[in-house]
Amino acid sequence: QDSNAPAFGKGLFNLVGKDSTFSMKIGFRMQILGIANWEEGNNNDLVDPETRFMIRRSRLKFEGFAYSPKLRYKVELGLSNRDISGASEFTSNAPRYILDAVAKWNFYENFDLWVGQTKLPGNLERVVSSANLQMVDRSLLNSRFNLDRDIGIQLRHQIDVSDNFVIREKFAISQGEGRNITSANLGGYQYTSRLELLPFGTFKGDYQGGDLQREPSPKLMIGATYDFNQDAVKNRSNQGSYMTIDDESGFYSTNISTFFLDAMFKYNGFSFMGEYAHRDAKDPLAKNSDGTLTGDKVQVGSGLNLQTGYLFKKNWEVSGRYTNITLDQDITGKAPENQYTLGLSKYIAGHKLKVQSDISYLSLDAGKDELMFRLQMDIHF
Amino acid sequence: QDSNAPAFGKGLFNLVGKDSTFSMKIGFRMQILGIANWEEGNNNDLVDPETRFMIRRSRLKFEGFAYSPKLRYKVELGLSNRDISGASEFTSNAPRYILDAVAKWNFYENFDLWVGQTKLPGNLERVVSSANLQMVDRSLLNSRFNLDRDIGIQLRHQIDVSDNFVIREKFAISQGEGRNITSANLGGYQYTSRLELLPFGTFKGDYQGGDLQREPSPKLMIGATYDFNQDAVKNRSNQGSYMTIDDESGFYSTNISTFFLDAMFKYNGFSFMGEYAHRDAKDPLAKNSDGTLTGDKVQVGSGLNLQTGYLFKKNWEVSGRYTNITLDQDITGKAPENQYTLGLSKYIAGHKLKVQSDISYLSLDAGKDELMFRLQMDIHF
Amino acid sequence: QDSNAPAFGKGLFNLVGKDSTFSMKIGFRMQILGIANWEEGNNNDLVDPETRFMIRRSRLKFEGFAYSPKLRYKVELGLSNRDISGASEFTSNAPRYILDAVAKWNFYENFDLWVGQTKLPGNLERVVSSANLQMVDRSLLNSRFNLDRDIGIQLRHQIDVSDNFVIREKFAISQGEGRNITSANLGGYQYTSRLELLPFGTFKGDYQGGDLQREPSPKLMIGATYDFNQDAVKNRSNQGSYMTIDDESGFYSTNISTFFLDAMFKYNGFSFMGEYAHRDAKDPLAKNSDGTLTGDKVQVGSGLNLQTGYLFKKNWEVSGRYTNITLDQDITGKAPENQYTLGLSKYIAGHKLKVQSDISYLSLDAGKDELMFRLQMDIHF
């Protein structure tokens, strides 16, 4: 039988509609993950290994243009239990099957208007697709501070300063409670602005883990995001838990702002990604209408993530990561955490077929230290 | 790259199996919706705008024939949270992912036997696909009275009275509790009969909003449905809430009948759709086994929906709608509602790529009036 | 239009990636089922027919190789409510959408290593796909004793003893709590070993109901499975209910072993399938930490299933089944059950398009006898 599909890793289908009236690339992927976790025992030894195996992520992805090349779209659906979890009364008690469903209209020159649900222009690490991670999964900084996906509009623009120097600007107004919400907006809207500088020009790996392109010259992206969630009702801006008050009859709301500074550097197989995050709130302590504390607290504080790797011959990569999370202990009651991760990846067919492993040591200023080993296989059509 | 797919709006794939052993058209669509809602304040002004944004609907559709052209099928899957909501103990506590899954066997001349789950031959507005609506969404009449989908069998037949005059008859026997039920049938079955007269011949837009075909001669369909749900256990026949009795240890059941009279008219860009609905029940007041009232009431009463539109040049359409809902106030305790809607649609590529907007004023004889503005974008491959 | 798809029943797509870098067969199927159930009344007559109709199963299946023909994979997704039910706190409260997601690596000669979630090498009847059953559904033995799917690794090997005689060995280590678990492993792992003898050579119908191949010479597979679930926390090994203790604050765990002996015989339209199952537990009575009984019991005992059929001309098949379930009554409190089933199938296009019916009489040593009639239609692309 002759080939009737793209090469492995390039999608299952690359549809081109009659008279070039639309295009659609359909992709599918899955990650099979195993985890072992040890906790520090009473004698400082590691005990009680806890294990788990799961289909960590599995996705269907549809993207291309519709009717006109100026109208692009992306739809991504989650299939695994972890992908679609998070049903609540705010999502019609239904699983959160749709990850992305967004239309992108190039309405004028370098300007694009996005409408729908997709990732906000938040921290770099979050916007790197889970298909293209350098380690088995994202860092603790991301899980504590990321802005994830939301529904609304985004305005995106690019300035070509010189032959090489590129500036990208991204603005978003969104509902501010995360993805797949079907009920009415609580509190106010969320406003996100991001600026990206690419002083040595654009590069394929700007939002990709590792330097699989082995860039022949140094490449850099520096980005900064400022996010303002007006009257936010969840304890991590548009993420985390709803802060209910008065016996769950209402919601506490306060302004929450999140700031990210991040950078991606690639050169000759070497890669570095760094992120700093800071969250603040007007009044982080949730209160009932009578002024008593509910116990909920906005998770204010800072995080730092530094990650680097080198791609050896035959596409073996060794990577290292240091993550520090320092929430405001007076408010949140949480002591600082430091995590040290060593990763080993074999990219059999780039990010499309790879086996990744990492080992992490989590040091808690209060509480028991933990050691975690993970092994994951990715197949992306 | 050469075209390998149908034109935009004609499906992602039009499969034809080897030796013409099957066919399948695969379609995909999504609707991105924004809503703002104002309620009448104390000084008769409109206050408190409530907003929401969501992926209103997103669907995958498969249809064609299997093995023989006489055996057709249709499967439609919902992807959005609103599409798949409604999990209950009666649906195995699982989301209602499947909308349609029906086999259609043309067993003799003009006779078709349908087996499976699909829309009942109820009111016209309901059977118009949500992909082909004239306004952002269906009317209040539909939400209060429609028969939606159910599982069972349908017998369909067509009489060609003359060259032009066509009569269609549709009969259904179904379980009577709505779609995706996995538990045993409660109460009796549901029997639906529908008769349709097309005095000026069949026309493509009989079940489609707006006159996008700009019919050169007047086209009309008049239909009537009578539905009898024996020992129905839900308060809107096969829709609404279960009427439980005796501390949820059993169900109240009564015979519920629903009658629809509807018409669709199209001519030269002008379209009119009208519907009258009436629901009655043998004993609409739910009672425990000891005869005391449970508080549940079958939603008996009437509804009227009149809707019209004109398609201007460049496929801009202005439409208007009047809806009246008059439930039996003595029984249901609900006062009449009147809703006035003005719609504006831009059909960029027919119903396949369109932007629709409407503004609705809801006048309640009792309670606060409401104003609603909606804006929606549809992309249908 | 020319054919662009495989023949009916051979998949919707048979993708071959550019430069043969991957392959994927995509299949879709659905089963529409009706059931009527009568229970023995006080005068030994059958009363109270209970009916139900549902989309029993509907699946999407993806299989082929990725990157290298030595790396095969299979993914199967459930669509119907019965397919995806079973959400719990252990599945992230999300529906169990993924059935199979497994990579199969042929790493050396006849050795294959499987990683991911798929069926364990348990009893024959379970491993026969629900697409290829001889009767409307599997037997009571299967529902009481089968090992279903789990996540982990499997090692598979084949010995070609002679030109005809083939031995297959299958070993699995899995998490031991069933499919789609996202939380950490409770109790210990599950170890499954299976040996299969095919004294007259391999045959296409070894894992298929009925002899649709009308084997010209006798074909036989004899298999035995021994499964050991260390510190199992569910009352049917990796299936059934979790055995909670101490007011749901913990889990009772005990070693559970399951043994199967099964055989499949095919010749000239005649088929026979037999299975014996036996489950035992170290201590089948669940106890709280203070030693008091929780009321949960491991379902220990035996089952026997004998099933046969003959395929007449024009692909009508008559089949018969006898099933006996004898749980340990002292422990489980359940009396023996005997079920007698008579089946009639019309294979219009093999298992790909068929109508099946069966009638079953369930005789309970204690309790009321039951009669069940089922009618099902299958369409498999």
Sites in chain B below the pLDDT cut of 70? 1
Average pLDDT for consecutive 10-residue bins of chain A (381 residues)? 88 96 97 95 80 97 98 98 97 97 97 98 97 98 98 97 94 97 95 98 96 97 98 97 95 98 98 98 97 97 98 97 97 96 98 98 88 97 96
Q: How far is C330 from chain B (nearest CA, A)?
A: 32
Contacts of C3 in chain B (CB under 8 A): 16-20
Minimal Cβ distance to C180: which of A3, A81, A377: A81
Q: Give A314's contacts (C-beta < 8 A, 6+ positions apart).
A: none
Query: Is residue C25 within 8 Å of residue C63, measured between CB atoms?
Result: yes
Minimal Cβ distance to A98: which of B2, B80, B95: B80
* DSSP letter, residue A315: G
For residue A374 the two structure tokens come to 């993970």
Q: Which of C3, C28, C6 is nearest to C381 (CA)?
A: C28
Residue A9, in any domain of the structure: no
Against chain C, the chains showing at least 3 CB pairs within 8 Å are: A, B
Q: Which of A349, A322, A350, A320 is nearest to A135 (CA)?
A: A320
Average pLDDT in chain C: 96
Neighbours of B246 (CB within 10 A): 13
- Residue B34 sits at the vertex; the CA angle it makes with B31 and B35, to the nearest 5 degrees, is 130
Query: Is residue C57 within 8 Å of residue C27, measured between CB atoms?
Result: no
Contacts of A28 in chain C (CB under 8 A): 62, 75
Contacts of A9 in chain C (CB under 8 A): 21
Tell me the residue type at A191.
Y
Q: Is A2 exposed, middle or buried (0-12, 13-18, 19+ CB in 10 A)?
A: exposed
SS3 B4: coil
Buried b (16+ CB within 10 A) or exposed e, A357-366: bbbbebebee
Instruction: Tell me how far apart the alpha carbons of residues C187 and C190 are, in angstroms, rounded to a whole number.
Output: 10
* pLDDT for C131: 97
User: What torsion do the CA atoms of B36, B42, B45, B49 make, to the nearest 10 degrees?
Assistant: -20
Residue A283, in any domain of the structure: yes
Residue C129, in any domain of the structure: yes
Q: Which of A276, A259, A331, A277 is nearest to A299 (CA)?
A: A331
* pLDDT for A1: 56
Q: Which of A167, A57, A124, A56 is nearest to A307 (CA)?
A: A124
For residue A200 the two structure tokens come to 């040595």
CB pairs under 8 A between A and B: 115
Contacts of A54 in chain C (CB under 8 A): 151, 181-182
- SS3 percent helix, strand, coil of chain A, rounded to 5, is 10, 60, 30
Q: With a cut of 70, say whether residue C232 has pLDDT above it.
A: yes
Q: How far is A356 from chain C (nearest CA, A)?
A: 14
Residue A130, in any domain of the structure: yes
CB pairs under 8 A between B and C: 116
* pLDDT for B1: 56
Q: How far is A71 from chain B (nearest CA, A)?
A: 10
The interface predicted TM-score of the complex, written ipTM, equals 0.95
Interface list for A 107-146 with C (CB within 8 A):
none
- Average pLDDT of the segment spanning C93-98: 97
Q: Give C135's contacts (C-beta < 8 A, 6+ positions apart).
A: C209, C307, C319, C321, C341, C343, C345, C356, C358
Q: Give B35's contacts (C-beta < 8 A, 6+ positions apart).
A: B51, B52, B53, B372, B373, B374
Minimal Cβ distance to C17: which of A5, A32, A53: A5
Q: How far is A306 from chain B (nearest CA, A)?
A: 36
pLDDT, tens digit (0-9, with 9 covering 90-100), for A285-296: 999 999 999 999
* DSSP letter, residue B19: G
Residue C8, in any domain of the structure: no
Query: Is residue C335 within 8 Å of residue C315, measured between CB atoms?
Result: no
Contacts of C117 in chain A (CB under 8 A): 55
Q: How far is B60 from chain A (nearest CA, A)?
A: 12
Give the position of tokens 């043309």. Answer: B106
Query: Would you call A62 an interface residue with chain B, using a CB distance cutoff of 8 Å?
Result: yes
Bridge partners, residue B75, by sequence: B62, B101
Bridge partners, residue B70, by sequence: none
Instruction: Tell me how far apart the alpha carbons of residues A308 and A140 are, in angstroms, rounded to a whole number.
Output: 16
Query: Would you call A97 an interface residue with chain B, using a CB distance cutoff of 8 Å?
Result: yes
Instruction: Tell me how far apart the alpha carbons of residues A4 and A184 are, in angstroms, rounded to a whole number.
Output: 46
Share of chain A above pLDDT 90, in %: 94
Number of structural domains, chain A?
A: 1
Residue A14, in any domain of the structure: no
* DSSP letter, residue C94: -
Phi, psi of C332 (to 5 degrees): -90, -15
Domain that residue B318 falls in: 27-54+131-380
Query: Would you call A51 an interface residue with chain C, using a CB distance cutoff of 8 Å?
Result: yes
Instruction: Tell me how far apart the alpha carbons of residues B319 and B311 are, in angstroms, rounded to a whole number.
Output: 9
For residue C137 the two structure tokens come to 């559904």
Instruction: Locate the chain A residue with the closest alpha carbon to C116.
Output: A32
For residue C18 the two structure tokens come to 């550019």
Query: Would you call A98 an interface residue with chain B, using a CB distance cutoff of 8 Å?
Result: yes
DSSP C208-253: SSS-TT--SS-EEEEEEEEEEEEEE-EEEBTEEEE-EETTTTEE--
For residue B267 the two structure tokens come to 């001519």
Query: Which one of C8, C56, C98 would you mutate to disrupt binding with B, by most B Cβ within 10 Å of its Cβ?
Result: C8
Distance of CA A188 to the CA centre of its chain: 23
Instruction: Tell me how far apart the alpha carbons of residues C299 and C296 are, in angstroms, rounded to a whole number.
Output: 9
Residue C277, in any domain of the structure: yes
CATH classification of the domain holding B250? 2.40.160
Q: With a cut of 70, say whether residue C1 has pLDDT above it.
A: no
Which CA distances in Å does A147 have to A141, A224, A292, B71, C214? 11, 13, 29, 49, 61
Residue B3, in any domain of the structure: no
CATH classification of the domain holding C176? 2.40.160.10
